[in-house]
Amino acid sequence: MGAHVSDAYGRPLDNLRIAVTRECNYRCFFCHIEGDPSGGPARIGTSPPQLKSDDYYVVAAAAGRLGIRAFKITGGEPLVRSDIASIISNIRDASGPDADISMTTNGYLLSAYAKALYDSGLRRVNVSLHSLDREHYKIITGVDGLDRVIDGIERALDVGLKVKVNVTVTKVNVNDVWDIIDFASSRGVAVQLIELQPVNEGLRVFKDMHVDLSYLESKLKEYSSKVVLRPLHNRPIYILKNGVTVEVVKPFNNPLFCAGCRRVRLLSDGRLTPCINYMGPGVNILRVLREARTKEEAIDGVVKALIKVNQLRKPFYMWPLGGDGHTLTSYNVAGRLALPKKVMSMATTPAGPTALPREVPLGEQTGKQL
């Protein structure tokens, strides 16, 4: 295990999110494609990957020398890469059996790949399941693929993968959340509710589709036997009385979320970026990978690149002191988004969102258990 590093704000770096492709077989109307400055996802066959499967061995080996032990494989849609199992094998070989390697997928191709993914070293998979209503699912994803995704979840469970279903909550599917939680309960899988993010395609629809998750959280807390805090992004996890765990991801205008960030991102063209909201050039490792004379030289070059991108890390949202010297106020540190600086949201009811905007209080101090 390598030496651990932190950024200038004292946040550790122990997580690498790897987008292995920009291509996707879906067209979700809110896709953030990991904040790739190139824009939205590419159609199949239009954006060949720049990194080869064995490049990811070098990346994982370099990351391990800096204490990074968690790797999330994303895209685009990672399963459109025919060599995806080889990519995971390379990361596993470089990082060792104790590393946490997981994947986020839309699930459309999961039934075909589940066994190979498990055999290559994958142990956890997040499957996007934004609705169990077929029409809502088609509106959100642009694909009539609900049955195939459910089959993929079943197959993943059969081969031994741990499954979590991801639900990006919007005004289209806010009333479908409880059906998904019931579905998860019947299959023993976890749920992750994700707030819509104003990044890439999500920025286009944010004002019309954003739903504040406060009402859902209040009901989750009511139905929970325990609530714990996950260190990554200070995410609350509600352990419901029926045993289902529901993790809530609320990144928008949330300094508490940023304070718990522990990751950087590797895009499919070889760019390392410090944040999903970062719009700069980042640090490109492609030249290092192609010009290194030995594998050790390549690993050393990627280590230096990771150190450099870590120096670029800063919270996108902060809590600076107000004019009185002690009042906390939230603001967008990068000033990238043309959105209100105050945290505004749509109040929600069991029947769906209303047109009553309200100010949301800033986050409170939290401990390991809420």
Binding positions for S-adenosyl-L-methionine: 76, 128
Binding-site sequence positions for GTP: 17, 72, 104, 164, 263-265
- For 291, the enclosing helix (H) or strand (E) is helix 286-291
**What's at 359, amino acid-wise?**
E
Contact 64, 33 (CB under 8 A): no
Asked if 60 and 73 count as a contact pair (C-beta separation under 8 A), the reply is no
Strand-pair category, 70-74 with 15-19: parallel
- Known binding residues for [4Fe-4S] cluster: 24, 28, 31, 258, 261, 275
Give the annotated binding-site residues.
17, 24, 28, 31, 72, 76, 104, 128, 164, 258, 261, 263-265, 275
Angle subtended by helix axes 84-95 and 55-65, to nearest 10: 30
- Give the number of other CB atoms < 10 A from CB of residue 226: 12
What's the start-to-end Cα distance of the chain, in Å? 32
CA distance linking residue 287 with residue 51, whole number of Å? 11
Give the separation between CA 253 and CA 363, rounded to whole angstroms: 10
Contact 329, 342 (CB under 8 A): no
Q: Say whether 86 sits in a helix, a strand or coil.
A: helix
**DSSP-based three-state secondary structure for 257:** helix
Residue corresponding to tokens 């998979």: 125
9: how many CB neighbours lie within 10 A of its CB?
12
What is the CB neighbour count within 10 angstroms for residue 179?
13
What distance in Å separates the CA atoms of residue 281 and residue 271, rounded to the nearest whole number? Answer: 8
DSSP-derived pairing of the beta strands 344-349 and 271-273: unpaired
Can you tell me the distance from the alpha carbon of 163 to that of 161, in angstroms, rounded to the nearest whole number?
A: 6
